[in-house]
Amino acid sequence: MPYHLLDTQEKNNFDMTIKNYEQPKGISPRFFDETLNSETYEVQGPMGKGLGLSTDSTGIHMAFTAGTGILVFIDLVARIFLQNIGALPEKYERFQEGFKFILYVSFVDKPSSCCLEMCELVHDFC
């Protein structure tokens, strides 16, 4: 089981999932270009109102996404999972008992999927 995906330890670094879309003027190919490995990038966010969920949210919430679009939901999936297995740190507020999140995601094929392993793990437990 890939339990390392559920690590909640405070860290000074983070993992990123980047798909190389191989567009000449895009940013994704830059991460895969060995001649540019010395570049520094700044990551900012989140911005906006997000999904508008709060600890008072109840009922069924559904999301439909494909490919790397799943990434915006992974932190929510992880948080719900940690809450469901009783491993969410005490400092975090809990979702209501009647809260349910259903995520529909599709990929071109299994080898090009991202976060699928984590989603399958969550599915097995929840």
pLDDT tens series, the chain, 126 aa: 455 656 667 777 666 777 788 888 887 888 888 877 666 777 676 565 567 788 888 899 999 999 989 988 988 898 888 898 888 888 888 898 889 999 999 999 998 898 888 888 888 887
Q: Give residue 109's pLDDT.
A: 92
Q: What is the largest CA-CA distance in the chain?
A: 51
Cis peptide before 46 (omega within 30 of 0): yes
pTM over 0.85: no
Q: Give residue 70's pLDDT.
A: 92
CA dihedral defined by 100, 114, 87, 49, rounded to 10 degrees?
A: -60
- Return the axis-axis angle of helices 116-125 and 71-84, rounded to nearest 10°: 30
- Are the beta carbons of 68 and 19 closer than 8 angstroms? yes
Amino acid at the residue 5: L
Between CA 32 and CA 12 the distance in angstroms is: 23
